[in-house]
Amino acid sequence: MDSEKSMFGGAIRPTWPSLLLLLTTMLVLSYQISTMTGLPSWAGSVWGASETAPADPTRSRSCSGFFFGGVGAAPPRRKTVMSIRDFGGVADGTTSNTEAFRKAMRYMQTKQESGGAQLNVPEGRWLTGSFNLTSNFTLFLEEGAVILGSQDPKEWPIIEPLPSYGRGRERLGGRHISLIHGDGLTDVVITGHNGTIDGQGKMWWELWWNRTLEYTRVHPVYCSNVVIKDMTILAPLNAPNTDGIDADSCTNVCIEDCYIESGDDLIAVKSGWDHYGIKMARPSSNIIVRRVSGTTPTCSGVGIGSEMSGGISNVTIEDLHVWNSAAGVRLKSDKGRGGYIENVTISNIKMERVKTPIKFSRGSNDHPDKGWDPKAVPKVKGIFISNIVSLNSTKAPVLQGVEGASYEGICLRNVTILGLAASAAWQCEFVAGFANDVFPTPCPQMQDMGSFNWCQQH
Ligand SMILES: *[C@@H]1O[C@H](CO)[C@@H](O)[C@H](O)[C@H]1NC(C)=O
Ligand SMILES: *[C@@H]1O[C@H](CO)[C@@H](O)[C@H](O)[C@H]1NC(C)=O
Ligand SMILES: *[C@@H]1O[C@H](CO)[C@@H](O)[C@H](O)[C@H]1NC(C)=O
Ligand SMILES: *[C@@H]1O[C@H](CO)[C@@H](O)[C@H](O)[C@H]1NC(C)=O
Ligand SMILES: *[C@@H]1O[C@H](CO)[C@@H](O)[C@H](O)[C@H]1NC(C)=O
Ligand SMILES: *[C@@H]1O[C@H](CO)[C@@H](O)[C@H](O)[C@H]1NC(C)=O
Ligand SMILES: *[C@@H]1O[C@H](CO)[C@@H](O)[C@H](O)[C@H]1NC(C)=O
Ligand SMILES: *[C@@H]1O[C@H](CO)[C@@H](O)[C@H](O)[C@H]1NC(C)=O
């Protein structure tokens, strides 16, 4: 995997609550400035034109340029550029820089309407508690720069739960703020020359095991126009609830060229939980995930749901490489969720030693509180899965829909799952779809002629 790794830029190491961005428009994470020239391609909408009519096929498969006015455009230049040292920062790995970062951000906020600002973090180990970003702002980690998350919980204040979840996902009440946090911002870039954000998550994982902690992750919520590119995200493989990247109630999101090792899903797409998510009604839509590789022993390469009550649509996932993982592609919903999952295209996935390559499942009575509505069933239709090869798998696909809300238009084409025992059988329930060129032979629910046309059109 060396050749793949060498192209990744920033690294997020054992993170716990590392990065959370709320209500943010135009966000670029770990954008490698050095690769800008030549790469930009997407002028205009994240969804559409360049996908179907590529002028240059090598360019068409990157959405990295789509914020900056199209081909050849540069990322925003900020009028004010300063270093964390200018704010009294000390890079010895033990001195707290929380005040330095907060002071820097207060100053940079005054520049947001006059050309914006960039904060450079030079080489060295910068210990800090949580700080908030601002608009028209670039956080730039120079080569050898490491931002270290403070081990003092007092430096991670508790904030309100997300309204689309109503409560903490794992526990009641609020959540610790993220190490790098932003709320209601526009035009934020976090980038650099292969810098590292190390949340030093061990303390948080212990707190979680000790059942005293809520979780958070690299987590854009209620955001639009998000690019997450060239990142390496490493969490111990046994660390709880450490999804690599969660796109949560976000629109126009491009995640590409990332390497992720995680104790939870590598990439997850969500949109709120039961009645809280239905009420908030913030869907996740127009999401592209491509060229992501990694491993997660207990979870899946890509997970859609289980919280999807605000709706999820127009998701394209392609060119993934997943190994030594519990599942490859997972879709999860249940009664009470409401919402929908529609127009999901998953193709070109290579899996090795993935236990269950394709898994649609229900939760296990997993609701925020007693206020959930058993009549709120999810609507799932138009899931296209093609060009999948899975080697040394142990379970045939599991396709479990929700009773009273059968999934429709589930299309499988050119799917080869090898390594299964001869007795391994598909498990299908409350689904209808069509499978073409699929091995091993699918369940009868996947020979639904009503779905045939739907699947052929794609
Ligand atoms: C960001 O900068 C643009 C001009 O480039 C300005 O129009 C906008 O108001 C600024 N945003 C904020 C939140 O100050
Ligand atoms: C950061 O923003 C949150 C709201 O999103 C707020 O509760 C917190 O006090 C802010 N922290 C700082 C240091 O300004
Ligand atoms: C980035 O840094 C990591 C170590 O933190 C190193 O393994 C990797 O090769 C570096 N990548 C580049 C492109 O310099
Ligand atoms: C978690 O509990 C273990 C013992 O059960 C203890 O040694 C450890 O210090 C606790 N960790 C935290 C962060 O509270
Ligand atoms: C999804 O894409 C289709 C076109 O392919 C478009 O008609 C629809 O509006 C999109 N949905 C959302 C929520 O953007
Ligand atoms: C799904 O795609 C169809 C056809 O492009 C479009 O009409 C529909 O609006 C899309 N659904 C959603 C929820 O975006
Ligand atoms: C089937 O999928 C494999 C693996 O992605 C790909 O190499 C092959 O070209 C596909 N075949 C067809 C007919 O599309
Ligand atoms: C699959 O398993 C066989 C037999 O154990 C082994 O020889 C082969 O290397 C494995 N392949 C992969 C891709 O794991």
Report yes or no on 209 lying in a domain.
no
Least trusted range by pLDDT, from 153-157, 214-218, 365-369: 214-218
Q: What is the pLDDT of residues 201-249, one digit of tens each?
A: 666 555 555 444 444 457 888 988 888 888 888 776 666 566 789 999 9
Report yes or no on 345 lying in a domain.
yes
CB-CB contact of 308 with 337 (8 Å):
yes
- Ligand 3 nearest atom to the CA of residue 11, by list position: 5
Cα 209 to ligand 4 centroid, rounded to whole Å: 8
DSSP assigned state of 275:
H
CB-CB contact of 66 with 39 (8 Å):
no
Rounded Cα gap, residues 61 and 369, in angstroms: 42
Q: What is the pLDDT of residues 75-123, one digit of tens each?
A: 678 999 999 999 999 999 999 999 999 999 999 999 999 999 999 999 9
Ligand 7-lining residues (CB < 6 angstroms) = 348, 387, 389, 414
148 C-beta closer than 6 A to ligand 3: no
pTM of the entire structure? Answer: 0.86
What total of structural domains would you count in the chain? Answer: 1
- Ligand 5 nearest atom to the CA of residue 47, by list position: 2
Report yes or no on 404 lying in a domain.
yes
Report yes or no on 369 lying in a domain.
yes
Residue 60's identity, in one-letter code, is S
* CB proximity list for 40: less than 8 A, separation 6 or greater: 59, 62, 64, 65, 66, 68, 70, 71, 72, 73
Report yes or no on 296 lying in a domain.
yes
Report yes or no on 329 lying in a domain.
yes
72 pLDDT higher than 50: no
Question: What is the CATH number for 333?
Answer: 2.160.20.10
- Which uninterrupted H or E stretch holds 442? none
Containing structural domain, residue 244: 217-458
Report yes or no on 173 lying in a domain.
no
CB-CB contact of 414 with 386 (8 Å):
yes
Q: What is the pLDDT of residue 51?
A: 32
With pLDDT > 90 as the criterion, what percentage of the chain qualifies? 55
Q: What is the pLDDT of residues 368-418, one digit of tens each?
A: 999 999 999 999 999 999 999 999 999 999 999 999 999 999 999 999 999
CB count within 10 Å of CB 286 equals 21
- Mean pLDDT of all residues in 256-281: 92
Q: What is the pLDDT of residue 14?
A: 33
- Ligand 4 nearest atom to the CA of residue 203, by list position: 13
The CA-atom distances, in angstroms, between 246 and each of 172, 229, 267, 290, 342 are 20, 14, 6, 14, 18
Q: What is the pLDDT of residue 275?
A: 96
Q: What is the pLDDT of residues 297-343, one digit of tens each?
A: 989 999 999 999 999 999 999 999 999 999 999 999 999 999 999 99
Q: What is the pLDDT of residue 48?
A: 31
Residue with the smallest CA separation from ligand 8 atom 2 is 392
Report yes or no on 131 lying in a domain.
no
